[in-house]
Structure 1
């Protein structure tokens, strides 16, 4: 029997959210929803989904259909309930693309670029004060962090402190954060001549929270290595992984901010 990912509590939360968004209530809903996280966790091809869960084509078709309609993002946003935006952290991480990720139809968004690591995708992630994901953006691996910082800030909306590494050292980025009433905590480069009075070394040390979340996301092998041909399907895998993390948070396993600082 294939190892299952959904606990009864987790399934109840997902089922309630699916009902709110008008998903069909079928007898095999749980089996299909077990098959998709199985693929997410293992990184195996869709055709290798265990038969005792459900036919692989049923799982793929439902995942792909919900990806087209944006339901995976809606699921994630529905579970993003208890967030603490006193501090917000952002960072980027490269994802190596498997050779099977190539070959998408012309005109489809792929979000794959050539970097020193070869064909890569880059995830730009924002996390709250407890290190839980707020939102993300994906691009090709050849896109610099500073090019997407403004969009990330707009996606965050409002926070007290905006904390990022030297890759975001730009007065334009700091000004963008200030327009959203955020205090930018960004170190300057060694050759910088301007002062940086807003930099808080204590808060900057807490930036490991977003790096920890990247490590947690990459426990899902479909995230650690990209196999999906289309950008929207890879984003859907990311939304599913973040949803599972938030489901566990809502189940009472979320650490307090004090615990996060230890």
Structure 2
């Protein structure tokens, strides 16, 4: 079963980064890490991990320990190679929060909000011209995308970016001006009731915005991501970061 998760070549690439991030090279490191990927893919409860990955509690504790240090996010950023940032597209998607994600000890803001449809979170994502993830933020499910977009934009390195693609949900002069301040053309259509035209739009480039939708579709094949089971925000951020990293790992 271990061989079906990722290839040996991919594991060696992951291992070199993990060791560079000061992860101790235990004999069980591969089994533990592949157990975390197995849970990401299947969305199973930690206690039901197959025994080939070692003790379930050991794998869970490793995941929590590494999540607390931001290891998976650092791994994701290390895996990014030769990103094509001439066009960057951003969008957000709702994630339903399973009932088991509620009631985190200590409370605090875990980016889960209750709406008519139930508890939910949102993933705010930026991708390159090929749809490969560059940055993401996890927010609650009721905050409008445009309120999170400036924070997402600040995380991006846009020195080689010409266009920023986004849909009408990001129609905001303040947000456009933020993009222009970074010498990036905001390719964002105005809403139907706007008094100004869309003469600023490059519609051919805008058609490429579908890549961010494709990336969300790919990410949601990971069942631990498509439904949020993690109580703690840093655990779910690690889940999303690992899924994004695996997209780069396959390239």
- Same fold flag (TM > 0.5): yes
1:106 deviation in Å? 2.5
State yes or no: 1:31 paired with 2:31.
Answer: yes
Residues of 2 paired with 1:129 and 1:218: CA distance?
Answer: 20
Q: Is the 8 Å Cα contact of residues 2 and 50 (structure 1) preserved in structure 2? A: no
Q: What is aligned with 1:202?
A: 204
Question: Equivalent residues in 2 for 1:97-176 (5 A)?
Answer: 97-158=97-158, 159-176=161-178
1:227 deviation in Å? 0.2
Q: What is aligned with 2:195?
A: 193
Residues of 2 paired with 1:3 and 1:62: CA distance?
Answer: 21
Residues of 2 paired with 1:37 and 1:175: CA distance?
Answer: 40
Question: Equivalent residues in 2 for 1:1-262 (5 A)?
Answer: 1=1, 4-158=4-158, 159-249=161-251
Residues of 2 paired with 1:2 and 1:22: CA distance?
Answer: 24
Q: Is the 8 Å Cα contact of residues 188 and 196 (structure 1) preserved in structure 2? A: yes
192-201 or 210-219, which deviates more: 192-201
After TM superposition, the score normalised by the length of structure 1 is 0.92
- Unaligned runs of 5+ residues in structure 1 are 250-262
- Unaligned runs of 5+ residues in structure 2 are none
Q: Is the 8 Å Cα contact of residues 86 and 161 (structure 1) preserved in structure 2? A: yes
CA deviation profile, 1:202-247 (whole Å, cap 9, x unmatched): 1111111000000000000001100000111001001111111101
1:3 deviation in Å? 7.2
Q: Is the 8 Å Cα contact of residues 4 and 34 (structure 1) preserved in structure 2? A: no
Q: Is the 8 Å Cα contact of residues 114 and 120 (structure 1) preserved in structure 2? A: yes
After TM superposition, the score normalised by the length of structure 2 is 0.96
Q: Is the 8 Å Cα contact of residues 157 and 180 (structure 1) preserved in structure 2? A: no
Residues of 1 paired with 2:68 and 2:139: CA distance?
Answer: 18
CA deviation profile, 1:141-199 (whole Å, cap 9, x unmatched): 01001101111111113121100000000100100101111100001111100233321
197-206 or 123-132, which deviates more: 197-206
CA deviation profile, 1:6-39 (whole Å, cap 9, x unmatched): 2101100011001111110111111111100000
Q: What is aligned with 1:257?
A: none
Q: Is the 8 Å Cα contact of residues 98 and 229 (structure 2) preserved in structure 1? A: yes
Matched residues, number: 249
